[in-house]
Amino acid sequence: MEPKIKIVNVVVSTQIGSDIDLEEAALILDNAEYEPEQFPGLVCRLSDPKVALLIFRSGKVNCTGAKSKEEAEVAIKKIIKELKDAGMDIIDNPEVKVQNMVATADLGIEPNLDDIALMIEGTEYEPEQFPGLVYRLDDPKVVVLIFGSGKVVITGLKREEDAEIALNKILETLREIEEII
């Protein structure tokens, strides 16, 4: 519990029915946009849990922008209630699956990105294109963006605890590099 890891985004998927009339749903939901020419899903933004939901004709639903799985579940229950109250055929307590989580943290040191790029396989660092170094880990299968400030972004997370595991692995690798130098 040394590093303060903060979950900043959670992506979740679920299914609330099948063969959903998105035109109808668009009329029922307040902040809904549905432009099939542009994207096959209906976009609905909620302000309460500040999230965005994508609803598809198949009944599949994605929820992004939540800070936790629970927050995403609250958002999904909200739209389910709205659609059900309007008379649509919707599943009540669908199983929600976390597809991805994004976290931020601080290494507490200012790493030399050039050294990391040269010494660690599987890292990409192209400052011309992006200031962060891209570090792909296999064990917790996540991707970590490391910045010169020591700030870090961890994404691809399926479990919250993997963030700390990944962070510790990186700190350990950084220590090994410093020993060599």
Partner 1 sequence: RLRKWQRRIRVSDASERNLAFALSELDRIASKLGLPRNVRENAAVLYRGAVEKGLIRGRSIEGVAAAALYAACRRCRVPRTLDEIAEASRVDRKEIGRTYRFLARELGIKLAPTNPIDYVPRFASELGLPGEVESKAIAILQKAAEKGLTSGRGPTGVAAAAIYIASVLLGNRRTQRDVAEVAGVTEVTIRNRYKELTEHLDIDVTL
Partner DNA sequence: AACTTACTTTAGAAAGC
Partner DNA sequence: GCTTTAAAAAGTAAGTT
Q: Which residues bind partner 1 (CB under 8 A)?
A: 110, 112-114, 117-118, 124-129, 131-132, 147-149
Identity of the residue, 85 or 155, whose beta carbon is nearer to DNA in the bound complex = 155
Per rule CB under 7 A, is residue 23 in the interface with DNA?
no
User: Which DSSP string corresponds to 123-136?
Assistant: EE--TTT-SSEEEE
Contact between 26 and 42 (Cβ < 8 Å) = yes
Q: Which window, 44-52, 77-85, 88-96, 164-172, contacts DNA (CB under 7 A)?
A: 44-52
Residues paired with residue 52 on neighbouring β-strands, in sequence order: 45, 64
Query: Does 54 sit near DNA (CB under 7 A)?
Result: yes
Distance CA 140, CA 91 (A): 33
How many angstroms separate the Cα of 172 from the Cα of each of 166, 167, 168?
10, 9, 6
Q: Which CB sits closer to DNA, 139 or 179?
A: 139
Quote the least distance from Cβ 111 to partner 1, whole Å.
Answer: 8
Give the footprint of DNA on residues 66-95 (CB under 7 A).
Answer: none
